[in-house]
């Protein structure tokens, strides 16, 4: 590893171990140079590495400097989209991944989901239902509905990857989420999912989610076949 990469790794460990929250500032450049025993050029390169990874934001001007940010799932989506574009992966392939991942997430969530989370699902679905006969899209509430489920798994890795897959398939499809037929079908599928969660039935939750995602994929293939077969783009 280059010296700057070692410093970047050490700074990440310091931020995590010290539990520095987003918005916290790191020591001044002069102080870090002395504490770490490196030159300014090496330190600045390390900070740039962390900035590109979403760990820090570098503020300019008086009182500026490195500010803790914390990487977010959205950062993973951008990196994933860039990789998938180079691999010429399609939206259909990402939907296939969702067909495998989300039913398992629903199965895990079925025995762990709290009454409060179930109520949250009902609230979000009611919000979606109110939009069915309008020209508004359901992108945001649909995203939140599935995020509650992935969060209920209690597994942060599954939560992040599920949310990333969902965001990757939804990001280029604003018009699709305005379709009244799609909105109606999504709401009905969510009702079935909520019933499975209320019953604490892993088999029902898994199978219902599988049907829900497969139906969503098939509808996309019918409505926008060209978009589904086109290689993904990093910047939508």
Confidence tier at 173 by pLDDT (50, 70, 90): low
Q: Among 11-25, 28-42, 222-236, where is mean pLDDT lowest? A: 222-236
On whether the CB atoms of residues 33 and 40 are closer than 8 A, the answer is yes
Mean pLDDT value across residues 91-97: 91
Separation between Cα atoms, residue 169 and residue 91, nearest integer Å: 6
Confidence tier at 80 by pLDDT (50, 70, 90): confident
Separation between Cα atoms, residue 213 and residue 106, nearest integer Å: 11
Q: What confidence score (pLDDT) does residue 175 get?
A: 59
Confidence tier at 236 by pLDDT (50, 70, 90): low
Q: Is the pLDDT of residue 178 over 90?
A: no
Confidence tier at 235 by pLDDT (50, 70, 90): low
- Break the chain into its structural domains and give their ranges: 3-68, 73-229
| pLDDT-above-90 percentage for the chain | 64
Q: Give backbone dihedrals phi and psi of 129, rounded to 5 degrees, phi first.
A: -60, -35
Identical topology for domains 3-68 and 73-229: no
Measure Cα distances from 223 to 96, 182, 229 in Å: 17, 10, 12
- Per-residue pLDDT tens over the stretch 192-203: 999 999 999 999
* Statement: 73-229 belongs to CATH 1.20.120.530: yes
Separation between Cα atoms, residue 43 and residue 59, nearest integer Å: 15
Q: What confidence score (pLDDT) does residue 214 get?
A: 95
| pLDDT-above-70 percentage for the chain | 95
Q: Is the pLDDT of residue 166 over 80?
A: yes
Alpha helices in the chain (DSSP H): 3-17, 29-36, 40-52, 73-86, 91-110, 115-129, 139-152, 156-170, 180-198, 202-223, 225-229
On whether the CB atoms of residues 88 and 230 are closer than 8 A, the answer is no
DSSP 78-146: HHHHHHHHHTT-BHHHHHHHHHHHHHHHHHHHHTT--HHHHHHHHHHHHHHHTTTTSS---HHHHHHHH
CATH level 3 topology of 3-68: Arc Repressor Mutant, subunit A (1.10.10)
Separation between Cα atoms, residue 227 and residue 3, nearest integer Å: 44
Q: Is the pLDDT of residue 148 over 90?
A: yes
pTM given for the model? 0.81
């Amino acid at each position: 590893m280059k010296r700057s990469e070692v410093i970047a790794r050490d700074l990440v460990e310091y931020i995590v171990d010290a539990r520095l929250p987003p918005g916290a500032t790191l020591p001044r450049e002069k102080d870090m140079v002395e504490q770490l025993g490196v030159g300014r050029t090496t330190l600045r390169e390390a900070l740039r590495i962390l900035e590109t990874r979403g760990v820090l934001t570098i503020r300019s001007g008086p009182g500026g400097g490195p500010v803790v940010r914390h990487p977010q799932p959205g950062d993973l989506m951008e990196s994933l989209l860039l990789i998938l574009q180079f691999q010429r992966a399609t939206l259909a392939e990402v939907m296939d991944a969702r067909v495998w991942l989300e039913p398992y997430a629903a199965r895990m969530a079925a025995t762990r989901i709290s009454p409060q989370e179930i109520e949250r699902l009902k609230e979000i679905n009611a919000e979606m239902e109110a939009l069915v006969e309008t020209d508004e899209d359901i992108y945001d509430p649909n995203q939140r509905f599935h995020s509650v489920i992935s969060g209920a798994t209690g597994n942060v890795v599954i939560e992040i990857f599920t949310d990333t897959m969902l965001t990757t398939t939804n990001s280029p499809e604003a018009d699709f989420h305005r379709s009244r037929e799609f909105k109606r079908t999504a709401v009905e599928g969510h009702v079935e999912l909520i019933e499975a969660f209320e019953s604490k039935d892993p088999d029902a939750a898994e199978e219902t989610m599988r049907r829900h995602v497969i139906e969503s994929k098939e509808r996309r293939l019918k409505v926008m076949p060209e978009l589904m077969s086109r290689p993904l783009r990093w910047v939508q």
